[in-house]
Amino acid sequence: MSDLGSNQSQVPPQTIEKPAAVWVFGVMNIVVGCYFLVRMIYGWSKIIAGVVKEPEKITESGMLALLLVVISFGLVIWLIVLGIGLLTMKRWARRGSVLYGWIQVVIIVITLGAIFISSIIDLHNAPRILWASINLNNALAVIRWVYMVLLLIFMKTEKVKRAFGAIGG
């Protein structure tokens, strides 16, 4: 007695070639995200120590700094999750990476605008303000911004869109 199911040829599931950009940005999202997470935790320890030591000295700018830390924490965790999603070829990870890139572009514009406005407000100290803004932290920020713009560009290439478009769901 023959089994009809065994006579039919089995079609292997379609394998989707992962573009190199997806590999690179998946790994880099995780690495960059973990690096900034460690830096943030180190920075938080200073902020928390200051709040615990002198809670009555919390100012509006201190509260704004805490709010920015919470938002930044969320963005860093999101970057790590996006990296994992890219490596596992999840459609939402490509879309999320594009959105993340645009959010970073907005942050770049706001930050550069703030530096520019602060130098205009204090024209006497403008060269010193601009020079002070060129330090290791800002150099790392520029590298991060370049990375985010590249992420945005590569996640919108046709090859990457096609690879994620081939995924069902």
Q: What is the pLDDT of residues 7-56, one digit of tens each?
A: 556 655 566 678 999 999 999 999 999 998 998 888 777 767 776 777 77
Instruction: Assess contact for 167 and 16: CB atoms under 8 A.
Output: yes
Residue with tokens 């379609």: 14
Q: What is the pTM for the complete model shown?
A: 0.71
The verdict on residue 7 lying in a domain is: no
Categorize the per-residue pLDDT at 104 as very low, low, confident or very high, splitting at 50, 70 and 90: confident
The whole-chain average pLDDT of the chain stands at 78
- Would 169 be classed as within a structural domain? no
Percent of the chain whose pLDDT exceeds 90: 27
Look at 162 and 117; give whichever has higher pLDDT: 162
Residue 77 pLDDT: 95
Q: Is residue 163 part of a domain?
A: no
Q: What is the pLDDT of residues 111-137, one digit of tens each?
A: 777 767 766 666 555 555 555 555 556
Decide if 58 is inside a domain: yes
Give the chain's domain count. 1
Q: What is the pLDDT of residue 132?
A: 55
Domain that holds residue 76: 18-158
First to last CA, the chain: 39
In this structure, are residues 89 and 167 in contact, taking their beta carbons and an 8 Å threshold? yes
Q: Does 102 reside within a domain?
A: yes
Q: What is the pLDDT of residue 87?
A: 94
SS3 90: coil
CA angle 36, 37, 40 (to 5 degrees): 85
pLDDT tops 70 at residue 168: no
Q: What is residue 49's predicted lDDT score, i.e. its pLDDT?
A: 74
Residue 149 lies in a domain: yes
168 lies in a domain? Answer: no
DSSP secondary-structure letter at 134?
S
In a domain, 9, yes or no: no
Band of residue 83 on the pLDDT scale cut at 50, 70, 90 = very high
Confidence check: pLDDT of 85 > 90 = yes
